[in-house]
Structures are given as C-alpha cells and as structure tokens.
Amino acid sequence: MMRQYELVDRVRRYNPNADEDLLNRAYVYAMKAHGAQKRASGDPYFSHPLEVAAILTDLKLDDATIVAAVLHDTIEDTTATREEIDHLFGPEIGALVDGLTKLKKLDLVSKRAEQAENFRKLLLAIADDVRVLLVKLADRLHNMRTLHFVPPEKRARIAQETLDIYAPLAGRMGMQHLRDELEDLSFRTLMSEAHAMIEARLKDLETNSSALITSIERELTEALAKRGIEAEVKGRQKAPYSIFKKMEHKSIAFEQLSDIFGFRVVVKEVEDCYRVIGVVHTKWPTVPGRFKDYISTPKQNDYRSIHTTVVGPGRQRVELQVRTRTMHEIAEYGIAAHALYKDGRGIDGDALSQESRAYQWLRRTIEMLAEGDSPEEFLEHTKLELFLDQVFCFTPKGRLIALPRGATPIDFAYAVHTELGNGAIGCKINGRIAPLLSELQNGDEVDITRAEGQSPPAAWESLVVTGKARAAIRRATRDAVRKQYAGLGRQIIARAFERAGKQFSEEKLKASLPRLARQSVEDVLAAVGRGEMFSGDVVRAVHPDFREERKSASTPAKGEPGWFGLNKAASLVFKVPGKDEVSPNAIPIRGLNGDLPVRFAPNGGAVPGDRIVGILTPGEGITIYPIQSPALTAFDDQPERWLDVRWDLDEELHEFFPSQIIVNALNEPGALGTIATVIGEEGANIDHVEFVNRSSDFRDIVIDLQVHDLKHLTGIISLLKTKSVVSRVERVNG
C-alpha cells in the first residue's frame, strides 16, 4: 500500500507548489475513516482510494482532484458526512466527493430502464465539473485491474459495463491510454481465449519483426535529422482489442492485417509535422486514401495528429502518426491534459479561447436530457455517438461539421440547426442533387434545401445515426401528433359549447386554466383530443353555473359540419389496454371535415352492435375496426394509437354501414342471382362483388354490403346458409 510521503512525492513531481498539508490531512482522514474495512482481495480497503489517486497523479491532475480521489468512498462507506468534508477540506472538494458518492451505486448493465436512468445520473453528476468523471474512470480502472478477486458471476457483468460505457466514454474524452487499458482488461475477461490467441500472435510477430522495426526507426530518424528536424520516432503495436474489432469488422484473419505495427513521430512545432510528411512522402510511396490531417480538422475529443501510410523498407506497409509533444500528451490523456486544468493556455501555447471540444460534446449531450426524451432513448442516442467514428463535412459557407461515420444529409442538417433538419426536403452533395439518405464521405460539401412548415417523416428516425437527429425527429413527430390531438380537441370542445348554448372563446378558456390544472390552452385541447379530459368539464370550468342535461346527440344533416360520410356518428374516449368497458363519459365526435377524418377499416368495415376501437394514424385520421379484427394485432405494441369508440346513433335514420362477407357457392348458373335476391329482399345494398378461388364445382364470392347493424347482417348470413346453392358463408373481419 502506498505510504503517505509517497503520495505527496508523486504529486510534487509535476506540481512543486502542491499543498502538502492538504494531501497529508486527506490521507490520514481517509485511513482513519475506512479503518479495518477489507476489499475482496483481502487488502485494506484504504488501498483502493490510494491506487485511484495514484492513477490520477499519472494524469498530473490538480490537488483538489487527488484529494477527492483519496476521499471518494468516505461518505458512502464510512460515517463521514458531506458537511464534515466541507468543513475540513473546503466546499470544492466536498462537491467532488459528493458527486462521486452519487455515482457509487451505478449499475449500468442492469435492466434497460434502470441502466438508462443511471446513465443520465452519471452524465448529470459530471455536468458541473468534469473532474468527477476523471476520478470515476480511474476508480473503474483500478476495479478492472483487480477484477480477478471478484466472484466469477459478477466479472462478466462488470467487464461488459466497462466495454459498453466507460471505455468509449474515456475515448470520447480523448483519454486513449486509459481507454486502451479498460478495453484490454474487459476483452481479457469476456473473451479470454481470443485475447490469449491475439496476444500470443503479437508476441511472435514482435520477436520476428523487432529488427525491421528498429531499422525503420533508425532510417526515419536519420532522414529527418538530415533535414534539420528534431524528432522522436518510436514503433508501437495495436492493442489486442483493437485488432480483434478489425478482424471481426472486416472478416479477415490475423495474417491479413497490414497495420498491426505503426510508428509515432513526435516533434516540437506544428510546422515540423508538415515538414515530416514532406520528407516521408518523398522518401517512400504513399498508400492512396490513407492520409488524414487531424491537425487542421481536430476530432471532437481534441485529438490532433497527421496520419499517413507509406510502403517502407522491405515493401512493408508503415503507418505513421505525426504530432507535437503537446498533441501527444492530449492524445494520450485527453481532457485531463487540457490547459483548462493547467495554466490557462491553449494547445501549443495558443490562448485558450474555448473550452475542450470533448467537454463541449459532453455538455451538448447533457443538454439532450432537457429535450424530453425518455431515459431509454437518451441512452440509445448517446451510445450511438460514443461508438461511431467520424466524417468531416462542410456547409456551403465553409463551416466544418463533424458527424459519425454512416451519417446522412439529414444528420448533417440537424447538426447545423434543428429547424434546418425539420424543414429539409432535399440536398446537394458537392454541387450535385443527391438523396437525403446518401452516406456522407470525408470532405463532402452539403447544401440542404428546406421548406417552411415542413415536418420530418417519422420514418426518418430509424434512418439517421446521430442522437441529435433522432431526438429532434421524435420530438417533431410528437409535436405533430399533439397538434392533431389539439385540432380534434378543439372540435370536441366547440361542439360541447354549442350544445350548451355557449360561445367558445380561447380567451375565456385561458382564464380558466387553473381550474383545469393545465398550463396552456393547447394542453387542454390536446387532453380532450386524447380523451384524457371530458369536454363537459371544460364547459363547466369556463361557465361554473352551467348544468348539463344529458340527452342523446342528434346526427347532423348531410352537408352540415360534422357529417360523417355515411351519415353516422361515433363517440371516442381513450382506450386503456386490457379494459373492454366503454367510459360512461364518452364524448360525441363527428367529422370528416376536421383535421382527423374518420373512416372504416378496409376489407370488412364495422356495423352497430360490434364492439369497436379506433386506431389513430398521424396525418391520416382515425380508422374504425371491429374488436375481433385480426388487423388489430399490428398495433399491439402501439397503445398510444388506440381510441375507444362506441356507436352514437339516431335509430330513426336507419343508416347503412359497411360490411363484407365471403360466400362459398356452387359453380352453376343462377347461384349469384339467388344470393343477390336474398340480400335485396332483406333490405341490404350490394356495393361490390368479386369472384375468387374458382374451381370446377365451387367458387368463393366476396361481397361488400351495406347493412343497418349486426342483427341485420347476421340475419342475411343465416338466410344465405339455407339456400341449396350456398355451401358456406363467413363474415370478413379485416
């Protein structure tokens, strides 16, 4: 276990002005607080926060972060309190320790809803101070290093959690060195055989290629020195997990990989990076398509380097990364190396004019929490952005837009501005008209065509790859549905006021919002449209002295507002799945002339006497189905679209309703005439007749009927069954 003076020495190596007294007090306090507690390994528990602090000293973090690491388990696992930490070490350290305490019980690989909610808590906890994340990542790294002491049944869960969340999050923060170790430890636990195989191959390759690597290092160093470029050239090999992912992604064997070994060239100045590229490209032929300049266009995690691949000595492919020392530090330690936590200076001595790009991404991600997405949606969107590589595209004015690989112009539009995405109707890529679903490539210039009042199709949500685009499309779809509900609710309320003999006024309704417990008039309209609020309650809220006299609603005459096509009316209330009872407070609704037209299901229709439901289709209206219709199974997983409906009829009108039957009849002259005679004598209309499944003896006849109700239809079916030319009669429930 690290001793007290060793901790102080580690900090003073990179920070001679470290607060030695503060570090000593934290060490003694945490040691006494944890007392005789033990870890699963049998070591004193206090050894764990010390190791976490040691990891953070390697990142050269400030005194407050080191002290927070030493104390990070005290509030959760001992009798220490936040007030006591604040009093002894100050509110800054108290806030860091408290933020870490809130994350202590995170279980990111639990049930999906819990996992998503916990991920929200994780990001919210680090929203105010990213140092909370740095301590959390160091805490996870030490836990992974000692994972072999954990019971076997827990190892896979913890390793998968690390691979899914913590490792990519470290990568997004630019902490590649930490990410590599987290991935390697997880890979070793989850796929031990694959890890052992790749590690053995790497050792063999390193033994066989050591002379070649040394030769390339020497030759490249000498070539640069001749041009007066002082550089450090060092060979490196890919991490086992990175190799495994490439083999899996490209479906190739280990022997087919051409870039297992690469070389890193570290120089003093930015200008030297480009001079190195000039030397390398004139000395050895380049591999087309393998040049990437992340200095002029840094990655979102602040990574900056120039990548190139050349055919070097012995016709060996050589991958090179060229960067300055400051870039190298940021590439390895990411946000922990950023000037934000050092001397207030930016990368390579430039004034710090903006915060870390990695932290900007983190803040934008956290802002999505306020956009109304569910925890599950938020987790899904964030994981998409954590795992995908990037492409860089440009607006017509030259603005650089970084997107995940596989992004479309729709993603591009939403990355520029939400309103541009919502109104997008077309695009040009590099000056040529292209589909909105085209996959963007590095360097593409994208020009989006938009239209005012346009709303994105709901289908776009499954076609885009960025979380921002998906969230915006989902919100726009919800807003469109809400607008339709509000339009429906407005008709219902206007009709209710008309029946009550009152004048509907939005101003009066607005004054009555407190009595309805709603924030806006639109909230009331949408609630009524969804069946969550009774229109009579709205009338009484505006006119408290009104007393409704319940009576059957009359049917409007043909041509009047609200006429229902076939002169029928329905009452709609929200359907609670699993309940068959119709609400006694059902609200009469009529209308083909409104925003939500009502129609019957094709291939069967519905007739009075049927238990019926309505299915809401945004942008199209409501379709009425009989409850026994097999077509309803397609909507089982969309309960928000179900509306309960009941018949609201004037029996004196003898209205007709659509239905459909299939008659299996003898294939002989006069059979159809007999069937038509029965239907006509029973007072029903035939709309359409179709012959299907003909054979030498029988044929099926599909007949669209107009009948008064279920009793009328049943009587016709019964009479048809008595005829000698009829073998079978069935009603179609489409």
Q: Which of these, 203, 166, 201, lies nearest to 181 by C-alpha position?
A: 166
Q: Report the C-alpha gap between 465 and 284 in whole angstroms.
A: 38
Structure tokens at 304: 């900056």
Strand partners, 261: 237
The answer to whether 25 and 31 are in contact (CB under 8 A) is: no
Q: Which of these, 682, 667, 671, lies nearest to 719 by C-alpha position?
A: 682
Q: Which residues contact 446 (CB under 8 A, 6 or more apart)?
A: 393, 394, 395, 401, 409, 412, 427, 428, 429, 440
DSSP labels for 221-239?
HHHHHHTT---EEEEEE--
Identify the burial level of 409 via C-beta atoms within 10 angstroms of its C-beta, where 0-12 means exposed, 13-18 middle and 19 or more buried: buried
The answer to whether 630 and 534 are in contact (CB under 8 A) is: no
Strand partners, 645: 572, 612
Q: Report the C-alpha gap between 669 and 259 in whole angstroms.
A: 81
CB atoms within 10 A of CB 75: 21
Backbone dihedral angles phi then psi of residue 404, each to the nearest 5 degrees: -65, 150
Q: Report the C-alpha gap between 160 and 683 in whole angstroms.
A: 69
Q: Which residues contact 105 (CB under 8 A, 6 or more apart)?
A: 76
Tokens 């200008």 sit at which residue? 271
Residue 386 host element (H or E): helix 375-387
Q: Report the C-alpha gap between 147 and 155 in whole angstroms.
A: 7
Q: Report the C-alpha gap between 130 and 363 in whole angstroms.
A: 10
Instruction: Tell me whether strands 317-324 and 261-267 are parallel, antiparallel or unpaired.
Output: parallel
The answer to whether 665 and 726 are in contact (CB under 8 A) is: yes
The answer to whether 230 and 265 are in contact (CB under 8 A) is: no
Q: Which of these, 648, 637, 527, lies nearest to 577 by C-alpha position?
A: 637
Strand ranges (E), 446-498: 446-450
Max CA pair span of the chain: 109
Strand ranges (E), 325-420: 390-394, 400-404
The answer to whether 187 and 163 are in contact (CB under 8 A) is: yes
Strand partners, 598: 622
Residues that are catalytic: 76-77
The answer to whether 450 and 424 are in contact (CB under 8 A) is: yes
**Helices 63-71 and 91-103, interaxial angle, to 10°?**
50
The answer to whether 404 and 385 are in contact (CB under 8 A) is: yes
Q: Which residues contact 562 (CB under 8 A, 6 or more apart)?
A: 491, 495, 556, 569, 590, 591, 593
CB atoms within 10 A of CB 351: 9
Distances (CA, A) of 361 to 222, 300, 386, 403, 467: 41, 7, 10, 12, 12
